[in-house]
Amino acid sequence: MPGSLGTPRYEELINRLIDARNSAKLTQDQVARKLRKPQSFVAKYEGGERRLDVIEFMDVCQALGVRYDQILDGL
């Protein structure tokens, strides 16, 4: 089974996370600091260079102040 990176559904997931970050008026650097990760971590998952696992996804949602179901609903 091929990976999900680059698929339309995964791209939609990332777009929703980017929209949530922008709605929260947070920069990539601010999100990265909340996650205790380098800014490149956020840039890479937003740019489609790296895939988020489930735990990372949950941590990102928490950092953005959104519920998981808000991001996943209808995906």
Separation of CA 6 from chain center: 14
> What pLDDT, on a 0 to 100 scale, did the predictor assign at position 33?
98
**Paired tokens of 20:** 């949530």
DSSP line for 15-75: HHHHHHHHHTT--HHHHHHHHTS-HHHHHHHHTTSS---HHHHHHHHHHHT--HHHHHTT-
Alpha-carbon gap, residue 23 to 6, rounded angstroms: 24
pLDDT along the chain (75 residues), means of 10: 77 97 98 98 96 97 97 94
> What pLDDT, on a 0 to 100 scale, did the predictor assign at position 66?
98
Structural domains for the chain? 8-72 (1.10.260.40)
> What pLDDT, on a 0 to 100 scale, did the predictor assign at position 2?
62
Q: What is the DSSP letter of 37?
A: S
